[in-house]
Amino acid sequence: MIKIRDDFFYPFYEYIYLFVMVIYMAQMTPDTGRMVGGLSGNPIPLLIPIVMTIILLIRNPISFDNIKLWALTGIMAVWSVAVCYKFNDFSSSNLSYYFFLFYAIFIAYIHIRVFGRDLFPLYEHIMVVFSAISLVLWGVGILFPLTSDLFHLFPETSSGNNVLFLFHWMDPAKVINPFRNAGCSWEPGRFAIMLIPAIISNLSHEGITFRGNKNIVIMLLALASTMSTTGYSIVMLIYALYWVQVYNTKRALTFLIIALPLSFFIFSLDFMGEKIQDRANFEGLTRDRVEMNKYQSKAHGDEYVASLDRFESAFFEWINFQQEPLLGYGRNTDHSWFRKNVSKNFWLTGGLVKIISQYGIFIGLLLYSCLFYSSIKISQTCWNQQKFVYAMALLLSSISYPIFSIPIFTAFWFYGLFCTEDDQLELDEEDVEYADFNNNYEIE
């Protein structure tokens, strides 16, 4: 048994299973990215989560006789066939993109049915472990530069070295800013948004308190070390929402005294100010990207692939949507207007528009409805009075990174659709006292 809290222990296999799922969620390497796309290549990384899930189901049998599950898969199956027919592409490579859509839905269903409401404290605990590991190794790398030789002993990645899938060391020779902590993910910003649901989970049962709450301290330190504008902005907004929830004059003044100088300091940091200023200059940034695209295409040809900035991606995704408003361009980005008419050397990142540009207006609205419904159900499960905080966090995170159909994130997305009645039981008096936010919301 693994100790999660003083009064909460969890079976070893189930904990390790979810730990591995978080590693796949982080997608540090192409191998751990196999759970969201790509049937070709080494089959072992693809089979590991499948085999582990089968063992999980043997240990925790669940029923798949669920009308909501089959209604959702039926709708997505009709949409998938319609998109493939529209683009006249029933090739195995194209169909593999749709395989991973259904794979993600069923994995999310299994996670929700097996773990139920325990999914949230377990995820928080696992992210605290990853945060602690990353802070130690990141600190060693920053304070002792000569340890780079040690990190170089581990498998190489595109931007550093993979330390047993637990930590991604950023190589100064490969990245512009090697002082950022990428945690267990391929990029610091992605690690930051992985921390956000865990931070919300902690706020839900602890409130805004730091004394005796080592989990939140470790996660906030890890978040600070990522130097992520997306992560900083979302967490500051979340804390502001929780403060407003228990508004009174004393706490409002305390919040202003602490939050305003802190916000000014954070946004005055070089990396924050420069990124915000650059994003505001959309026209100039796009021109620079085009020039870089020409240069890199000549140097590397079709092998060169990079990601466009979040705002540029949203702009082009909107054009993609205008071209295919009803069905979208589907899971295969090669069918998008951008890839056909602008460049095959760039990927478009996440973005609020991406869901409707990929899936069309009707399926897109259905998916967003599921997200908001799940956010309400999660708030009830986690004793959280902020009904839409999970939806807001995932939507804002998706501006910079893909969220939908990624392990664990998809379970959050469909939680309201697949959770059982037992997960929505009314709280007993002890739980209500434990979740009394008016008593917990204080800085200690």
Q: In DSSP terms, which residues pair with 307 in a beta bridge?
A: 347
Of 185 and 297, the structure prediction assigns the larger pLDDT to 185
Of 437 and 83, the structure prediction assigns the larger pLDDT to 83
Average pLDDT over residues 18-27: 94
Residue 132: pLDDT above 90? yes
Residue 85: pLDDT above 90? yes
Rounded CA separation 159/191 (Å)? 15
Segment 214-241, tens digit of pLDDT = 999 999 999 999 998 889 989 988 888 8
Average per-residue pLDDT for the chain: 82
Average pLDDT over residues 75-102: 92
Tokens of 105: 């839905």
Q: In DSSP terms, which residues pair with 160 in a beta bridge?
A: 170
Residue 106's pLDDT is 96
What one-letter code names the amino acid at 59?
A: R
pLDDT classification of 246: cutoffs 50, 70, 90: low
| Backbone angle region of 301, left / alpha / beta, with phi > 0 → left and psi within -120 to 50 → alpha | left
- Weakest-pLDDT range from 169-183, 322-336, 377-391: 377-391
What one-letter code names the amino acid at 151?
A: F
Of 94, 93, 75, 96, which is closest to residue 85 (Cα–Cα)? Answer: 94
Residue 94's pLDDT is 87
What one-letter code names the amino acid at 437?
A: F
Domain residue ranges in the chain: 2-275+360-421
Residue 347: strand, helix, or coil: strand
Contact in structure between 399 and 310 (CB atoms under 8 Å):
yes
Rounded CA separation 41/39 (Å)? 7
**What's the helix, strand, coil split of the chain in %, to 5?**
65, 5, 30
Residue 298: pLDDT above 90? no
Residue 407: strand, helix, or coil: coil
Tokens of 284: 């100039």
- Tell me the C-alpha to C-alpha distance, in Å, between residue 194 and each of 9, 64, 109, 184: 23, 29, 20, 10
Rounded CA separation 67/70 (Å)? 5
Residue 58's pLDDT is 96
- Tell me the C-alpha to C-alpha distance, in Å, between residue 408 and each of 190, 271, 362: 14, 30, 24
**What pTM does this model have?**
0.84
Average pLDDT over residues 112-130: 95
Tokens of 400: 């910079």
Contact in structure between 135 and 221 (CB atoms under 8 Å):
yes
Q: What is the DSSP secondary-structure string of 148-160? A: HHHHTTSPB-SSE
Rounded CA separation 350/348 (Å)? 7
